[in-house]
Amino acid sequence: MASICLVLLGAGLAIGAPQQEPELDPEVLSAQQKRVEAMRKASMATVGVFGLDSQGGGSGVCISADGYVLTNFHVSSPFGHRMRCGMNDGKMYEAVVAGIDPTGDLAVLKMYGRDDFPTAVIGDSDRVRVGQWCFAAGNPFVLATNLQPTVTYGLISGVRRYQYPSGTILEYSDCIQTDASINPGNSGGPLFNADGELIGINGRCSFEKRGRVNVGVGYAISIKQAMNFYGNLRSGRIVDHATLGFTVASDPQGRVVVSNILESSDAYRRGLRYGDEVLRLGDRDISTSNQLKNVLGIFPDYWRVALRYRNEQGVQESAIRLQSLHQPGELDKIVEGSSEQGAKRPGEAKPAASKDSLAEKYESRRGFGNYYFNRSELDRIVKLQESRKPALPTGGPDDALQVRFVGSVLGESTAVETRFDPEKIHWALADKTSSVPVKGGWGSWIQNQDPLPISIAMRLWYQWHEQGPRKLGEVIYIGQSPVLGKQGLLDMTRVVLGEVTAEVYTSLSSGDIELIELFTDRQTDPAEVYFDYDAASPMAPMPSRVRLNYGLESRLVVEWLKLDTLPVEKTEGVPGGQP
């Protein structure tokens, strides 16, 4: 018996002896360190969003060194136009709302206090796959009292999910589902992939009947959608989503076919008809009605996107201009309701205007989240325009001189001339001449798809550079949009010129005018005048060539050879009459 005890005692001593820790695989340690570093860097750009009294809050993510923040509309709306933002450095920064997207649940805020804010690296949400690792960062339950965000790790559970509006207009399309813990307060915060790249904006969770506690089903707005809207949100506007102008349904063979279509829609003008099969929208194949809703939700209104469909003649390729989802003023009423609720938040302190250091950073105007930012974006465009202002002939539309562009039809000897003076805009193609007043009467020429709008566009191009955009009429910066045949996005500025609206697309980097569209209404094709620049042309840095389109059809290409001025001609009436 004693020997047994000794054996057991010896065994106990052996068990209690210090054990050497097993060596970990260097690859495991390397992966762990990479994960820790990715989370550290990503957390630096994560933002806590608070009311002015620091009560309540949500999350956001900084995406520009000068302090622009992406978050949810439902995070910013309770605080009105003013809030405070906390970052990982432990400091709070004053902020204002810039633009809002009530339908897609997005908002852009602007922080102040430094010009070197840490920023997130934008990822590619189209490359996200189920089973990949991800992590969310933010301020759940307002736990980040030291302003250091909470980070949770998980998997991508689903991609391209569609979430129907639930008693609200907030519609989540093409979103990413994750089991990374997302709780109240995480809303508006970032979802990162394993490398720390921003792939989504956390927004909606399955909380109903579960005590407001995360159960592993959270949804993030894809960063692709957020960045498509970002340029428009920086305009300070209340931005809208898009509608196609047609609906679809599945037929007995499972095909997605057009079930109804408006004859006023651009899709109808491009040839789509009832019963045609929709095959692709944008860069996505369509096999269900739900997929079409998903893809449509990532685009702002007025964007033009590729459409592939099949009719009796076979597969057709086209591009359609999207329409606004809401009627004018409809979103204003929704936002006003949200603002009134936000203004009644109990305990929220409103600083006196005299003590509000950011009072000048907010300007109320119907149709805008903050009109101040629309003026700021116009300032940016004006500076670009002034830095590239070409040497124009002396005089102009306001003096007793005519400005004249002389050229020819590309590849032909047919002469073309555009002239404008203080009273009229003139157009000449070979021996055919036409004129219109400078202050209107242009609509019928556009509706009849005449070439004279080239002259209207050239005069607008000239005035844009000679006088500056703000002197042209009622000017609003709309945002950023793609243009057929052009790389990347372009700035779009809308100019109301009486019965005609001009949309001017300019390069983000150079400020050069790339396209001017002249609309009479949204039910007919605009006159689209595209501008090309050739450094080797005698016209440089002015446009060397313009192309006129109606719809997707090129009607006329003109090569400019000379720009000069002439004395104003004394003529009676309007030569050329109506088109």
Residue among 59, 157, 181, 187 flagged as catalytic: 187
187 in catalytic set: yes
pLDDT for the residue numbered 208? 53
* Closest listed residue to residue 311, CA positions, set 365, 274, 358: 274
Is 109's pLDDT higher than 50?
A: yes
- How far apart CA 397 and CA 472 sit, in angstroms, is 12
Mean pLDDT of 203-217: 64
pLDDT band at 230 (very low <50, low <70, confident <90, very high): very high
Q: What does the radius of gyration of the chain's CA atoms come to, in whole angstroms?
A: 29
Is 572's pLDDT higher than 90?
A: no
CA 452 to chain centre: 32
pLDDT for the residue numbered 12? 46
- How far apart CA 466 and CA 471 sit, in angstroms, is 10
pLDDT for the residue numbered 182? 86
Mean pLDDT of 366-379: 96
Residues 36 and 28: beta-carbon distance below 8 Å: no
537 C-beta neighbours (distance < 10 Å), count: 16
pLDDT band at 398 (very low <50, low <70, confident <90, very high): low
Is 520's pLDDT higher than 80?
A: yes
- How far apart CA 516 and CA 495 sit, in angstroms, is 10
CA 565 to chain centre: 40
Is 514's pLDDT higher than 80?
A: yes
Share of the chain above pLDDT 90, in %: 67
Name the residue ranges covered by the structural domains of the chain. 44-155+174-228, 242-324, 401-567
Residues 450 and 456: beta-carbon distance below 8 Å: no
- How far apart CA 66 and CA 153 sit, in angstroms, is 29
The answer regarding whether domain 44-155+174-228 maps to CATH 2.40.50.140 reads no
Residue 214, token pair as written in the block: 């995360």
Mean pLDDT of 388-398: 65
Instruction: Tell me the pLDDT of the chain averaged across its residues.
Output: 87
Q: How many CA atoms lie within 13 A of 186 on its CB side?
A: 28
Tens of pLDDT along 6-19?
A: 444 444 445 555 66
Residue among 43, 59, 101, 105 flagged as catalytic: 105
Is 249's pLDDT higher than 50?
A: yes
Is 400's pLDDT higher than 90?
A: no
* Closest listed residue to residue 64, CA positions, set 106, 144, 3, 121: 121
Is 209's pLDDT higher than 60?
A: no
SS3 content of the chain, % helix, strand, coil (to 5): 20, 35, 40
pLDDT for the residue numbered 416? 97
Whether omega before 541 lies within 30 degrees of 0, making that bond cis, reads yes
Is 343's pLDDT higher than 70?
A: no
Count helices and strands in the chain by DSSP H and E runs: 10, 32
pLDDT for the residue numbered 577? 55
- Residues forming a β-bridge with 419: 404, 426
- Of the ranges 54-58, 412-416, 438-442, 508-512, which one carries the lowest mean pLDDT score? 54-58
Residue among 74, 326, 426, 465 flagged as catalytic: 74
User: Under CATH, which number does the domain 242-324 receive?
Assistant: 2.30.42.10
pLDDT band at 391 (very low <50, low <70, confident <90, very high): confident
pLDDT for the residue numbered 353? 42
- How far apart CA 244 and CA 292 sit, in angstroms, is 10
pLDDT for the residue numbered 207? 53
